Each structure stands twice: as C-alpha cells, then as structure tokens.
Structure 1
Amino acid sequence: MSRLFEAPARLVFAAFTQPELLVRWYGARGWSLVECDVDLRVGGRWRFVSQGPEGARMVQAGVYRHIEPARWLVCTELFEDQSYPGETLVSHEFTELAGRTTVTTTLRYATAQGRDTVLRYPMTRGVGQSFTRLADLLRSPMTTRGEQQ
C-alpha cells in the first residue's frame, strides 16, 4: 500500500509513532484509539485499543523490529481476538521528495490463510479512511514535539 502525504517525512513519521498524534488519526471513520501505548525502541512494545460503532472493540499489539526515524518503521502486529490470525510483519517506508512524503506499507502475513482472512475484511476501506484522517491532521497546525525534531 502506498499513500502520498503533503508533509515532510519527519512529521509523517511522528504521526506514526507519537501517541498524542496517533489518537488524532488512527482508525477508520467511527473508530478511535482509546488506549495508545508506544515504547519506540527496537524490542519495545506497542499496543492500541480502538473503540468503534456500538461499543465494538479491537486490540492490536506488537514489537518494534527496526526504527530509522523519518525513513523506516518495522514492527510485528497481532490482533488480541485473532480476528486477523497470526503475527504480521509490518514495514513502513517513508520517502520524502520536495517536502512531500510517500508512505509505502508492506504487510507479510504468517500464513496464506491469515492474508486471505484480512482480504475478506474491509481493511482496504479502513486503511484508506485512516490515511485520509492522517492527511487532514498533517494539513492542520501541529504543535507537537514532532515538529521540533
């Protein structure tokens, strides 16, 4: 998956890694992060608890495997309820050109069955809506430490 954002890579990377920014964009329309824990270091853990329509709840967690600020972010991802079975390896590459950043996300599923399960769910729609929320956030005035780095 790829998406172009009208912002420098340092800000886009910050939005992917800072809880105070993640809670402002992460999730499909109607969903919000109600818990967001990030230990941004190789071997550090992350955990997101999302709440959606009619009280639906989704918990994702994983471990950071590779971090290059404003360039790469690689982590594992596991859904607590196993709605998407197995541990997925998620890689985000941030490529900046002329102040605009393309994020290319690669997902490697543990099994073909896990991949097929994800493709049956509305993941594409959810990721698209989430990235639209991120694009809106990146256009808004941001007064976070991400801007200061």
Structure 2
Amino acid sequence: MTIGETELSTSRVFDVPRELVFRAWTTPELLARWWGPHGITNTFHECNIKPGGTWKFTMHGPDGVDYPNHNEFVEIVPLERIVLDHLSGHEFRITASFEDLDGRTNVTFRQRFKIKEEFEKAKPYCVEGNEQNLDRLGELLTEMAS
C-alpha cells in the first residue's frame, strides 16, 4: 500500500488470467459478490458498465447500517483498465489497472480523493477496506478458476 497526499494505491497479483479478473469487474452479478470490505453485502440498483454509465448500489454492513453509493464509469479499456468516479459522500476516483504476467494478473487499485480533508477522514478505514476488497476479489477469482 502506498499512501500519497490524496491517494491510496495497492497492488495484488492473482494466479488467474486477466480475462477472468476483467470479467469479475465487469459482470454485475460477480461484482456484487466481492465489492467492499469483509462482511459487506451489496444490492445493485443500476449498473451500466460503460463510459458515462451509472452504478448505484447499497452496501449493507454487518452491523445493519446501509451505505448508499453512486458512481459513474469514466473509462473502460477491455482487459487493461477501469476508471470510475465515486460521487456520493466523499468524492474520489478509482482506477483499476490489469497487467498480464504470463497468465497471472497484477491488479493495481488506486483511489484518489478530490479534497484532501475528505481523504484524511476516509483514509483510516479505506486503507484496510481496500485490502479487504482485494481479498474478496481473490476469493471469487479462485472460485471462478476452479
């Protein structure tokens, strides 16, 4: 994990081809299964995965608290990159990059906040939450590969 002035960045190598990783990011039914930290479940209301497409969903915390989310997809480069803007609450941009490593995939997950003060408030839970998000992606990828 790298922590910048308004950005968190983390990478993880998965033992699956990037086609599988890209599918996990671009298939709403799969995305709903792994998105968010441990204990979170999701209800997707709208998920239009294309540039300019809207992604509205509610994250349900294990404590019963609901977290409404509104995102917009900015860029989709098949097998290479997905960029989306989180527009509800703290505003930030997520850039997920997928690098082929001879059949394995390096995923780089960058989260850049618009406002430094909001970054400072969110940083304590985003650092661990982003790692847990990639843990959950890894669990799904293992299941998909078998």
**Equivalent residue for 1:64?**
73
**Equivalent residue for 1:47?**
56
**Residue identity in the other structure for 1:37:** E
TM-score by length of 1: 0.83
Please say if residues 72 and 87 of structure 2, whose CA atoms lie closer than 8 Å, have aligned partners that are also in contact: no
**Equivalent residue for 1:90?**
94
Structure 1 moving runs of 4+ over 6 Å: none
In structure 2, the residue corresponding to 1:92 is in which secondary structure?
Answer: strand
Match of 2:143 among 121, 140, 144: 140
Q: Which runs of 5+ in 1 are unaligned?
A: 144-149
C-alpha displacement at 1:36, in angstroms? 5.3
Match of 1:24 among 12, 18, 33: 33
TM-score by length of 2: 0.85
**Equivalent residue for 1:112?**
116
**Residue identity in the other structure for 1:114:** E
What does the per-residue CA deviation read over 1:35-87, in whole Å, with 9 as the maximum and x for residues that have no partner?
A: 253211111111221101221111222211111111011110123xx2xx2x2
C-alpha displacement at 1:10, in angstroms? 1.3
Please say if residues 17 and 38 of structure 1, whose CA atoms lie closer than 8 Å, have aligned partners that are also in contact: no
**Equivalent residue for 1:126?**
129
C-alpha displacement at 1:141, in angstroms? 3.8
Percent identity of equivalent pairs: 31
In 1: Cα distance, 2:141 partner to 2:45 partner: 19
**Residue identity in the other structure for 1:98:** D
Q: What do you get for the CA RMSD once the two structures are aligned? A: 1.8
Please say if residues 23 and 36 of structure 1, whose CA atoms lie closer than 8 Å, have aligned partners that are also in contact: no
**Equivalent residue for 1:3?**
12
Match of 2:106 among 89, 102, 107: 102
Which has more strand, going by share of residues? Answer: 2
